[in-house]
Each structure stands twice: as C-alpha cells, then as structure tokens.
Copies of this chain bind each other. A is one copy, B any other.
Amino acid sequence: MDRPSGKIPEPTLSRLSLYLRSLRQLAIEGVKTISSARMEAHCGIVPAQIRKDLSYFGELGKPGTGYDVQHVLARLTEIMQLDREQRIVIVGAGNLGSALAGYSGFTHSPFRIVGIFDNNFNKIGRMLWDQEIIDVESLPEISQQMRANVGIIAVPAQGAQPAADLMVSAGIRAILNFAPARIEVPPHVAVRDVDLTRELEVLCYHIDRLSPPEQDSPEDTAK
C-alpha cells in the first residue's frame, strides 16, 4: 500500500540507517512518539530532511503528534529488508576478506556469511575460520545454491571488476566494494563503495580542535 514510490536517493538510504539506530534506542527507552524536531537531537539531521526522507515511504508521521516509534521502526526495518536473513559471499580471502569473515559485529544482525571465494590456488581448499575457501570461478554455480544475495569485494583494485562480473553472473543483487576502484554493474545490481578516505577526512577535522577536559571534571584532569 505505502511501498516506496520511485527511486530513493542514496543519501536518504544512508540516513534511514541512522534513523533506525535512533529508533531502536528510543524503543528501548520506552519512547512512544517523537517529532522530527526531537529526532534531530538524536541523529543530528534537520527536521526538514527527516520529514523529506520519511515522506518517501508514505504517511509515517502525524502532524502535531509526530512519529510512532514502534510503527516507524517496524516499517523501516521491513523497507530496508532487515526483517529477513541476508546471505553474504565474500570474494577475496586475503587480509581484508579474512578480517571480514571473522567480523564479530554481525552477531546480532540479519547478515550471515555463507561463502568465501578466491582465485589463488594456494588458498582454494584451505579453511578460513569455519569455511573452506572456494574457487571464485565456481561462484556463479555455487552462489545460487547458497542462496546468497549480497557480495563483498575484498580484492585489490585490479581484481574488483572481475569479481563484480562473477557476482553479477551469480545473481548477486547487492555488492559492498572495499576495493579502491569503481566497478561497473548492470542497473539491477546495487553497489556501495566503502570509502576509508572519507572516514579519515571526517576525523581529521577534530584534530587539536576538541577542548581538553573541563575544570569541573576532576576524574578526567587527574589522568
């Protein structure tokens, strides 16, 4: 009924994830309803942006009352398809792939790593954590029996496009790309680039700008 209509801008989707985090916290705190103005304090996004972002998904809020926390939380979780298991294959069993395969942050999430692939014959057949590393050439046939729909590219820049091509052949619909290279995919496949440089840029702003502990925080100044 109130399915998203038209294309949702990528920055909106990125903010939905922030709203989800705020809403999960508000639900834990027992907050029933929240205005977009009060949401700003929780997630740092201006009310006009919050209302515009949420308006893509129909009438989620009521004028004068605001948003029903549980309702919007449930709707966004469903819209983001986080109410079901999301099965992930990783291409690249090098340092990054190994780190991702052992990532403990997935424990309370819908994400499950179901396969790890590489093109290096010294790695294929070896165990990585509890999984055997599989020849990436067999990704198209094996991925479907694994019911994977998300792929993570964890190969060097020059290997990113071949990895993406194999993922597309495998029917993967969403790719998280850690390689510092642009990849080309058909329009039905979503790509998100993890840009480490951007994370560092944001951080650098703060260097030598944050104030030392206030005088009235003796436990901090004592350090």
Contacts and interface: CB of A to CB of B under 8 A. Distances in A.
Nearest to A207: B173
A30 interface: no
Given A188-B211, A206-B173, A207-B174, A102 B95 contact: yes
Given A95-B99, A95-B102, A199 B203 contact: no
Interface in A1-45: 8-14, 16-18, 20-21, 43-45
Classify the interface of chain A: helix, strand, loop or mixed.
mixed
Contacts of A104: 156-157, 180
A71 interface: no
A190 B210 contact: yes
A98 interface: yes
Interface stretch (A58-66, A77-85, A114-122, A138-146): A77-85
A12 B44 contact: yes
Interface of A: 8-14, 16-18, 20-21, 43-46, 48-49, 52, 79-82, 86, 88, 94-96, 98-100, 102-106, 109-111, 149-150, 154, 156-157, 173-176, 180, 186-190, 192, 194-208, 210-214, 217, 220, 223
